[in-house]
Amino acid sequence: MYDVSIIIPVYNSVKYLEIALKSILDQDYESFEIILVDDGSTDGSEIVCDQFSNKYSNISVLHKKNGGMCSARNAGMRIAKGKYIMFCDNDDIYLPNILKDNLSLAKKYDADIVKFSRLRIHVDDENITEESYIYKYNFSIFKDEEVIKNYRIARNISSGVWCNVYKKSIIDNYSIQFPEDFRFGYEDMFFNIKYYQYVKKMILNPKVYYHWIQRDTHSTTKKFSENFLYALEKCLEEEYQFILDKNIQNICPGSWEDILTNYYVMGYYLALLNPKAPYTKKEKLKKCKEYREKKCFNQLNKMSLTNLKKIDYKRYLILKLFLKNQHLLNFLIIDFYSKHISKIV
């Protein structure tokens, strides 16, 4: 058995796959396997997978019919032999000591999850820009109720699965999978919400170990699909139930309202602000009003807004306008922030 299985879904990334693999193979760590799940590539990525698998005994490849990232990750988890699970996208980069440092923490403290930081790098043609915003937090070890009390902090570090070390036993015992009906985002968020339900010990490591490369040619952020809104709403339903089950809204006043606004209100507005969203202004307002009627919003009260105001005034204002169906004004505010502020959601 390996200490960790690193799962990489691969689809048409022949230009970048070798760089991603070398960043892992260069790690100062021995007990790991790499599982390459070729999701029906047609550009030569499938050949690169075979070449590396033939050369390295700890690299295996699974070729499958194209089914999307979620099905590829699920397929990789099913054959993983490691005690822990980690993920890497086929065009991203592991930084030095990501395995040694974070797996040492996981083993030393028997952590259910270790979270660490990433840096987003945007590549547009020949221009490369680093994200100026990195969420700030301290090295911490949380157990039991402390995990719940600090859920908002952990949640805000990153929604991506590539910034975490997971216990495979938890994934297996509770049949946690990626939602294969999600095709345009939010799959990582959904997986993490499912996983957090069983976390008893959590470690937060603020060091940056992962480069998330956002390329215009690969990114789904400029595309639009109804499936994106569907996935967002499914995440909202799942997380709202989790919040109720763990009583987070009472244990940590304002935390749920902050998450709700940051991810689900602003996220919904940003989706509709996408230039490729096929709706008229009237249709967008109608969708916002329908979304506003969800149970999780109707259960908010004046105290909910007061609690959020103490945490983040900008989000308080956006949530207040949203609850009053002042969507046009919110569209203007969020559109401005998205163009002039590097970090919104």
Q: What is the pLDDT of residues 210-266, one digit of tens each?
A: 999 988 644 445 678 899 999 999 999 999 999 999 999 999 999 999 999 999 999
Q: What is the pLDDT of residue 255?
A: 94
pTM: 0.93
Q: What is the pLDDT of residue 341?
A: 58
Q: Locate 102 and state its tokens.
A: 């974070």
pLDDT over 70 at 292, yes or no: yes
Does 75 or 340 have the greater pLDDT score?
75
Q: What is the pLDDT of residue 124?
A: 77
In this prediction, residues 111-126 reach a mean pLDDT of 89
pLDDT in tens, 150-186: 999 999 898 899 999 999 999 999 999 999 999 888 9
Residue 136 binned pLDDT confidence (cut-offs 50, 70, 90): confident
Q: Locate 46 and state its tokens.
A: 């499938």
Mean pLDDT of the chain: 93
Residue 344 binned pLDDT confidence (cut-offs 50, 70, 90): very low
Ordered by start, the domain boundaries in the chain are 4-215, 226-340
**DSSP element (H, E) containing 304:** helix 302-311
Percent with pLDDT over 90 in the chain: 86
Crossing angle of helices 17-25 and 45-55, rounded to 10°: 20
Q: What is the pLDDT of residue 323?
A: 97
Q: Report the DSSP beta bridge partners of residue 37.
A: 9, 62
- Contact call for residues 224 and 271 (beta carbons, < 8 A): yes
Q: What is the pLDDT of residue 219?
A: 47
Percent with pLDDT over 70 in the chain: 94
Q: 4-215 has which CATH code?
A: 3.90.550.10
Q: Report the DSSP beta bridge partners of residue 5.
A: 33, 85
Distance in angstroms (rounded) separating the CA atoms of residues 315 and 135? 16
